[in-house]
Structures are given as C-alpha cells and as structure tokens.
Amino acid sequence: MMKKKLLIIGALSALGAGFMVPVAAKHHAKDDMAKQVNLRTIVTHERRADDKARDKYRRPAQTIGFFGIKESDTVVEYVPGGGWYTRILAPYVGSKGKFIGLTFAPDPLPFGDEAKERIRGFPAKFPNDVAEWTGLPADTISAYTADAVPEEVHGTADFVIIPRMMHNLMRWDVADSEIRVMRKMLKTGGLVGIIQHRAKEGTPFSYADGNKGYLLTDTVVKFMESQGFELVSKSDINANPKDTADYPKGVWTLPPRYAEGDVEKAKYTAIGESDRMTLLFKKLP
C-alpha cells in the first residue's frame, strides 16, 4: 500500500512539473510580446520622423531583435554619429538598463587638430544631445572616448553595437586598439553586434580593405576571432542583392551620399543603400 501511494504521489508530482513548463513559456511569451510592443512604439515614435525613411534599409526592429538586446541591458553604441540608432536604443534601455556612447580615441586618427578636438568634446556633448533627441535626463547617459573609459566601467556592458564602422577602423588602422577597449567594457559572455557594408565573395582585398567602405565577411569574422570573440550567428536582415558593391567611388556612390552627384542618380536610388552583413559575436573568457 505504501509503495502504491508513493507511486501515485510521484506520478502527480511529475504531472505537476509537466504543467509548469507551459506556464513558464507563457510568461516568456508575454515578456517577448511586451518587448516587441515597446520597441515598435519607439521605432514609430514621432521623434524619428526624419529617420524613418531609412528603416527599409536598416530594419532597426528586426536587427535589435536578432541581436537579442534586452531592455535591462547596458548597451554601448560605438560612434553614434548623428544619433540614428541612439534615438531607438537610448529610450529602449533607458528605464531598465543603461545606454553608453563610445567614440574613437582621437590621437591615432588621420585627422586634423580641429576634428580631433571635436572628438575630445564628445563625452561632454553627447549626453545633452541624447536628452534633446529623446527627453531622457542627460545625467543618465554616459559617454567616453576610447582612450578615457574609466576602470569602473570595465566588465559592465552586456552589448556593444557597431553600425557601419568596421571599414573605418580597418582603413585608419585603429581596429585593434578600439576593439580591445570594447572588449574590456564587456562582461564575459557579453555580445557585439556588427552591421557592415559587405563586399561580394571573391572581391580582391585591394578593393575590400575598407577604403571603399566594403569589407569581406571573412575579414570581419577572422579579425573578431583574433580579438577574443566567437561568431554566434549571422543574418541577412540587412542584405540588399541589388548592390553590386563594385563602384569606383565605393559605398558612398549609393544613397544617402551619392558620391557621383547627379550622374546615374536614378540608378543608384533604385539600388538603395548598401548590402550589409549582420553579425553577432560573443566575448570569450
């Protein structure tokens, strides 16, 4: 009798455990749905009125979803520029996580003194820019140049996003030093998302060395592996098969730059923005 009772209890326990899985899955589904709704609200917000024309090429919601960025993450955006991604990412993590802007260490760059001075002013200027763009308090935003990241920031970031900047790091010969800084900022197991203009397989390195804006996927992957990262996943979310990636004036031939001016402008408009690789890497111990 005792044995029979124990068998019944065991069976009921197992059945109860089985019923717990859908409940947990339901909670995850709700969390994912809430995250998607929040991200969609941010992407469609009126503050992005001037940014939305590029969404069809940059696919921000799909890209952030692929990268797996969470609202509670500490996210570093590398070289935010005019703030296109900032106006999405800063509000997305602003209430539960933390947003950090990071830009080049100015001294090694092949720029004049005036440009380098502007870069040095980034940490003071950027939080106020973010506040103006998003309404977030400036004192909740951190910003650094890569040569002045405080020790206490090391090992605190969950994610670093590098949008369309790897070619500059390569052609200006600062990729090693800049990526090393980002690696220090990341937690072990932290992630790096790279979006980069993509050269066609078989393109000579003389064209795909960064000076035309395009890089080979293998070049980026092998470089990141040499820096202590492993490739987790890649996506064609930001692919554009119309881009032949072989223009004498490089990627800047395409919109929005139109390096050829009005020469064949309609043709380049029809192509749209560049074909891009979208790669996700994990920091190794």
Per domain, the residue ranges of the chain are 1-43, 53-283
Does residue 19 surpass a pLDDT of 80?
no
The pLDDT score that the predictor gives to residue 256 is: 96
Q: Please give the share of the chain, as a percent, with pLDDT higher than 90.
A: 86
Q: CB within 8 A of 85, min separation 6: which ones?
A: 60, 77, 161, 163
* The predicted structure's pLDDT at residue 24: 55
User: Is the pLDDT confidence value at 242 over 70?
Assistant: yes
Please state whether the peptide bond connecting residue 123 to the residue before it is cis, i.e. omega within 30 degrees of 0. no
- Would you tell me which CATH number, out of the four given (3.50.50.60, 3.40.50.150, 3.40.640.10, 3.40.50.300), belongs to the domain 53-283? 3.40.50.150
Q: Tell me the mean pLDDT in the region 127-143.
A: 97
pLDDT of amino acid 20: 44
pLDDT digits (tens, 9 = 90+) for 190-236: 999 999 999 999 999 999 999 999 999 999 999 999 999 999 999 99
Q: What angle do CA 272, 167, 92 make, to 5 degrees?
A: 70
Q: What pLDDT score was predicted for residue 125?
A: 98
Instruction: Decide: 217 and 279 in contact? Cβ < 8 Å.
Output: yes
For the segment 164-183, the average pLDDT, to the nearest whole number, is: 98
Average pLDDT, the chain: 91
Considering only residues 9 and 183, tell me which one the structure prediction assigns the higher pLDDT: 183
How does pLDDT run across 244-267, given as a tens digit for each residue? 999 999 999 999 999 999 999 999
pLDDT score at 26: 57
Residues 6+ apart with CB under 8 A from 242: 270, 271, 272, 275
Distance of CA 72 to the CA centre of its chain: 16
pLDDT at residue 18 tops 70: no
Residue 31 one-letter amino acid: D
Q: What is the number of H-type helices and E-type strands within the chain?
A: 10, 7
3-class DSSP state of 154: coil
For strands 229-235 and 276-283, give the pairing. antiparallel
Q: Tell me what pLDDT residue 32 has.
A: 67
pLDDT at 36: 73
What per-residue confidence (pLDDT) applies to 10? Answer: 45
Q: How confident is the model at residue 37 (pLDDT cuts 50, 70, 90)?
A: confident
What is the DSSP code string of 79-134? S-TT-TTHHHHHHHHTTTSEEEEEE--STTSS--HHHHHHHHTHHHHHHHHHHHHH
Q: How do 276-283 and 186-197 pair as beta strands?
A: antiparallel
Chain segment 67-113, per-residue pLDDT in tens = 999 999 999 999 999 999 999 999 999 999 999 999 999 999 999 99
Q: 217-226 and 175-185 are packed helices; what angle lies between their axes, rounded to 10 degrees?
A: 60
DSSP of 170-185: HHTT-HHHHHHHHHHH
